[in-house]
Amino acid sequence: MIPKQTVNMTDVARHSGVSIASVSRALRGEPGVSLVTRDRILSAARELSYVVSPEASRLSGGATGRVGVVVPRIDAWFYSTVLAGIADEFDTVGVDLVLCTLPDSAARHRFFEALPLRRKVDAVVVVSLPLTSRERTRIDQLNVPTVFVGGHHPDGNRSWIGIDDELAARQAVGHLLHIGHRDIAMIQAADDTDIPWATDQARISGFHHQMREAGLHDPTVVTVKWSIEGGSRGMEMLLSNSRLPTAVFCHSDEIALGALRTLRRAGVSVPQQISIIGVDDHPSAELTDLTTVAQPVRDQGQIAARKVLRQLTTDGVENDGAMTTLPTRLVIRGSTASPH
């Protein structure tokens, strides 16, 4: 006789002399089971080291115990750090994390058209994705609670967690102005999709507003791809101009790191000849002594996870629609100094 591989609810029921209905109720802590029966069932379950089949549970109307996390890519500091924050929170409550990455537009298109997460998760966290209205509709069609992280302010009263990118830009530019710079350029990063990315827009608008308030108009702005290479290229563009600015506000630390590399190769000394500031507080910023505006990244992941878990436990009914904005903070290092 071949022993059964797994013990199921029927085994527990037989063992405790009740119906599987009662077992199901007792195991989930549902009301409607007497204390004695409940105890008998629980100890039987323990004795048999029974584990509910998530498949069967789900199939008959229960939850999947899974939450989908959608990120553009994972091999970049920001995303992997947010993801780590999410994963930690999920782990503590035993929720499984189903990861979806959308590295290129083909993958992205496939994702939103096929909606592979459909029926597979109880909720979704969308990290740093500017969505078209079509894509937003598709996400809605998943018909599960959704939380957005960073980058993209969803319209309506959706659940969102992120930073104030305009303010972050203002803090960076404000620092440069404060220490005496007037000739400040920006290396702007733009996503290669057609969709305007809220983060990008907010950071450049913060730059322009802050400059204007200081009475400075038409500052130089170069636009590059969001990558170290892009930053490198952006600084080359600035170097090729007749006049070098005394300071450069870089859209992000990765842009700034590329810029620093170009400056090092060109033999331009930082901060003596030019000041550089970024945004993010990427681990490399500390290593390269880069002044930056830090944003809490792992926290954003943790808070997103908590938001989504809360919506799950409150039966998904409560869409709190809360927009949570986390503070950013100026971190002064060696890459900025007063002009001359």
For the chain, helix, strand, coil in percent to 5 are: 45, 15, 40
Binding partner of residue 112 among DNA, its own copies, none, CB cut-off 5 to 8 Å per kind: none
Contact between 29 and its own copies (CB under 8 A)? no
Mention every residue, 6+ apart, whose C-beta is less than 8 A from residue 1: none
Mention every residue, 6+ apart, whose C-beta is less than 8 A from residue 37: 16, 18, 22, 26
Which one of 94, 156, 215, 267 is in contact with its own copies (CB under 8 A)?
94
Question: In angstroms, what is the minimal distance from the CB of 47 to DNA?
Answer: 15
Residue ranges in 239-298 that form contacts with its own copies under rule CB under 8 A: 257, 260-261, 264, 283-284, 286-289, 298
Mention every residue, 6+ apart, whose C-beta is less than 8 A from residue 79: 71, 72, 73, 127, 128
What residue has token string 């990008």?
A: 200
Tokens of 292: 């930056």
Which one of 41, 228, 309, 337 is in contact with its own copies (CB under 8 A)?
228
Question: In angstroms, what is the minimal distance from the CB of 215 to its own copies?
Answer: 36
Contact between 64 and its own copies (CB under 8 A)? yes
Of the CA atoms within 13 Å of residue 190, those in its CB half-sphere come to 12
Which one of 11, 96, 183, 320 is in contact with its own copies (CB under 8 A)?
96
Contact between 144 and DNA (CB under 7 A)? no
Per-residue interface string for the shown chain with DNA, residues 5-44, x marking contact by CB under 7 A: -x-xxx------xxxxxx-xx-xx-xxxxx-xxx------
Residue ranges in 319-338 that form contacts with its own copies under rule CB under 8 A: none
- Where is 301: in which H helix or E strand? helix 298-313
Residue ranges in 47-106 that form contacts with DNA under rule CB under 7 A: 50, 52-53, 55-57, 59-62
Determine the straight-line distance between the first and last CA of the chain, rounded to whole angstroms: 88
Question: In angstroms, what is the minimal distance from the CB of 178 to DNA?
Answer: 58
Mention every residue, 6+ apart, whose C-beta is less than 8 A from residue 7: 48, 49, 50
Question: In angstroms, what is the minimal distance from the CB of 87 to DNA?
Answer: 23
Cis peptide before 271 (omega within 30 of 0): yes
Best CA proximity match to 146, nearest among 126, 171, 170, 173: 126
Binding partner of residue 314 among DNA, its own copies, none, CB cut-off 5 to 8 Å per kind: none
Contact between 116 and its own copies (CB under 8 A)? yes
Tokens of 169: 């830009």
Contact between 6 and its own copies (CB under 8 A)? yes
Q: Which residues bind its own copies (CB under 8 A)?
A: 5-6, 49, 51, 53-56, 58-59, 64, 66, 73-77, 79-81, 83-84, 87-88, 91, 94, 96-101, 103, 107, 110, 113-116, 118-120, 143, 228, 257, 260-261, 264, 283-284, 286-289, 298
